[in-house]
Homo-oligomer: A and B are copies of this chain.
Amino acid sequence: MRLNLMLFILKEEMKFDLIHKDKNSEARAGLLETDHGMVETPIFMPVGTQATVKTMAPRNLDETGVQIILGNTYHLYLRPGEELIGRFGGIHNFMGWNKPVLTDSGGYQVFSLKELRKLDSEGVTFQSHLDGSSHRFTPEKVLDIQRHLGSDIMMVLDECAPYPSTHEYAEESNALTLKWAREARVLYEKKERLYGYDQWLFGIVQGSIYEDLREGSARELMDMDFPGYAIGGLAVGESKSEMYRITSLCTDILPAHKPRYLMGVGMPEDILEGIARGVDMFDCVLPTRNARNGTVFTWNGRLVIKAGRFKEDTLPIDEQCTCYTCRNFSRAYLRHLFNANEILGLHLATLHNIHFYMDLVKKSREKILNNEFSVWSKTVLPTVANLIENNN
C-alpha cells in the first residue's frame, strides 16, 4: 500500500516550475525537471527518429545547446526493437545521450501508413514499412514499448485526424483518442518503473480545426489529470492562421502549471508564434531535414547553400552565429561539400540548423524573462521567415 501510494505521488508530481510569464503575451519561461536533467522552456526538441539525431553525435547535440530530444516509437519498435534497447537499460544508454528523451506514441507514423493499417476501437493493426510484417498497437502496447525504451516523457496512443476532416470524422476520431487516453492513464498508474527513474505520460489534445472538439478534448484530458499535455493534429496541412487559432484555444484551456507541447511544429516563425501563445515544447524534423537538403536557417532568413551565388562566398552561413560550422567554414566550402555529395556537408549544415533553433528558443526565453518577448519577436519574425533570394 505504501509503495503504491509513493509511486502515485511521484507520478503526480512531475516538476514543472512556471518561472515567469511575459507581461505582453501568453509566452512563458519554465523549468521542467526530469531524472535525466532540467529542461529550460520554451524548448525545441530535435528529432532522433532511429536513436540518433541524423548526422549528430551526442556531443554535437550538447555543444549546440540541446536539452531534450525526441525519439520515434514506431521506428524504434520496428528497429532495433524496445527489447534490445531495454537490455541496455533504455535509450539513453543505448545511444550515449544522458539528457532527457521524449518519445511519441507512434500513432502519427502508423496513421500515415494509410493502406497498410486498419483501425478498430481497441487499437490499430499495421504492416511494417520495412518488411511488410504485421503488428498491432494498442494504448497498453504503446505505453509498454515506451516504458521499455525508457523515455523520460511518453505519449498516449492517439489518432491524428488527417486534414481536412469532416466534423463527424474528427468527432469520432477524437472520441477514440480520448477512450485510448483514459485506458493509458489508468494503466500508467498501475505500471511500475523499469529503470529506476521516472517516466511521465502526456495526453494529446485532438479535434482537428473544430473548436468545440478541441475544447472537449482538452477538458476531458484535464479531468484525467496528465503530467503534461500535447496539442496534436496541427501542422498537417491547415493554414497558419488556423494553426495559431487552435493553438491559442488549447493553451487558453490547458492548466498553467503543466507543460504544453505543440507536436510537429515547425518553422522558426511558427515556434515564435507558438511561444507567444503559451507553448512550452516543440519538435520538428525541419531543421535537420532541411539541413540535409542544403537549406540553412539564419536570423536573416533561409539560405539554399547549393546556390551558385555562394560559389566564392567567404562568409560563414551566418556571421552572428557562434556554432562550429560558422566559426570555421565558408558558404563556398559548404556549397562545395553539397555539390560533391560529401557527408560532412550534411553534418555541418545540421549542426548549424540545430544551433540556430536552440538559439531561437534560448533568446525567446531571455526575452520572456525581461518582458520583452512581444516586441522582440515582432522585429525578428519578418526576417526569420524570409527565404533569401536564390539567384541560381
Chain A positions near chain B (C-beta within 8 angstroms): 50-52, 54-59, 79-80, 84, 87-88, 94-96, 311-312, 314, 324, 328-330, 332-333, 336-337, 339-340, 342-344, 346-348
Contact = CB atoms under 8 A, between A and B. Distances in A.
Contact of A87 (B51, B95, B312, B339): B312
B87 A336 contact: no
Copies in the complex: 2
Nearest to A339: B79
Given A57-B348, A58-B328, A79-B336, 10 more contacts: A50-B336, A50-B342, A52-B344, A55-B347, A84-B311, A84-B336, A87-B312, A88-B333, A94-B336, A95-B333
Identify the 4 closest CB pairs spanning chains A and B, nearest first. Answer: A96-B328, A50-B340, A80-B336, A52-B344
A344 B51 CA distance: 10
Contact of A333 (B96, B333, B342): B96
A344 B61 CA distance: 13
Nearest to A350: B343
Contacts of A340: 50, 79-80
B57 A88 contact: no
Given A312-B84, A324-B59, A337-B52, A343 B347 contact: yes
Contacts of A342: 50, 52, 54
Given A79-B336, A314-B88, A56 B94 contact: no
21 contacts: A50-B336, A50-B342, A51-B336, A52-B337, A52-B344, A54-B342, A54-B343, A55-B343, A55-B347, A57-B347, A57-B348, A59-B324, A80-B311, A80-B336, A87-B314, A88-B332, A94-B332, A94-B336, A95-B333, A343-B343, A343-B346
A56 B340 CA distance: 15
A282 to B, nearest CB: 23
Given A84-B311, A312-B84, A314-B88, A57 B344 contact: yes
Nearest to A51: B336
A340 B232 CA distance: 27
Contacts of A84: 311-312, 332, 336
B344 A56 contact: yes
A329 B79 contact: no
A58 to B, nearest CB: 7
A346 B52 CA distance: 13
Contacts of A50: 336-337, 340, 342
> Which residue among A54, A59, A340, A347 has the maximum number of chain B CB atoms within 10 Å of its CB?
A340
Contacts of A332: 80, 84, 88, 94
Given A54-B342, A84-B311, A339-B79, A96 B347 contact: no
A13 to B, nearest CB: 33
Contacts of A96: 328-329, 333
A253 B347 CA distance: 46
